[in-house]
Amino acid sequence: MKQILLLSLLCSLLLHSCFEKKTPEQLVNIAKSHLDNEEYSKALNTYKKLIRTDSLMIEGLYGAGLSLSYMCDQNLEHCSTAIDKFTEAIEIDSTYKNLFYNRGLCYFRIGKYDLAQPDYDRAVSQEPDSSGVVYARALNLLFREDSVLACKGLQRAVELGFKHDIQKFKEVCASLGEDSRIKE
């Protein structure tokens, strides 16, 4: 009889733990762990659960957008969906994390440089000392064929400590007659 009772309690405990609802905080932590492990589909599914819990949960919208943006290499359609998630999050709180920067990256990846520019401008205004944000804006300007502003932006990124792809960018600026602006 004791064995049946213990077995019944054990089954009840197992069933409860399998169907136990996660708190929003737990879901955020699980999703972030998936992102850290580059498990983007799992992260996206977890963020979707978070959004179903609370559709105005900005962390869920931001995380879903971020997960999708990481998956753009596999399928460019993910960029469009990521843009939608970032836009929803911006409508809730336009100052949250790197929303404009990340949405700008998605626009850039699908070749919509004119749409990326206002997002990069806003991101730079929110994070003027971020070398990566300043560099992304400069690169987008280059693709928009605004070489003067692009090379000025690169110089600012270098001043802020940006070191990736500088030589390549310097060569482009030099070919455009803008090399004097970039000094390491």
pLDDT in tens, the chain (184 residues): 556 655 555 545 444 444 468 888 898 899 999 999 999 999 999 999 988 887 668 999 999 999 999 998 889 999 999 999 999 999 999 998 899 999 999 999 999 999 999 999 999 999 999 999 999 999 999 999 998 899 999 889 999 999 887 787 778 788 877 655 566 6
- What is the domain partition of the chain in residue ranges? 24-111, 128-184
Q: Which of 77, 129, 69 is nearest to 102 (CA)?
A: 69
Q: Which two tokens stand for residue 51?
A: 């959004």
Q: Which amino acid is at 168?
A: K
CATH no. of 24-111: 1.25.40.10
Helix or strand or coil: residue 148?
Answer: helix
**CA 58 – CA 74 distance, rounded (Å):** 25
In whole angstroms, give the CA distance from residue 6 to residue 60. 40
CA 27, CA 106: separation in Å to the nearest integer? 25
Q: What pTM, to 2 d.p., does this model score?
A: 0.81
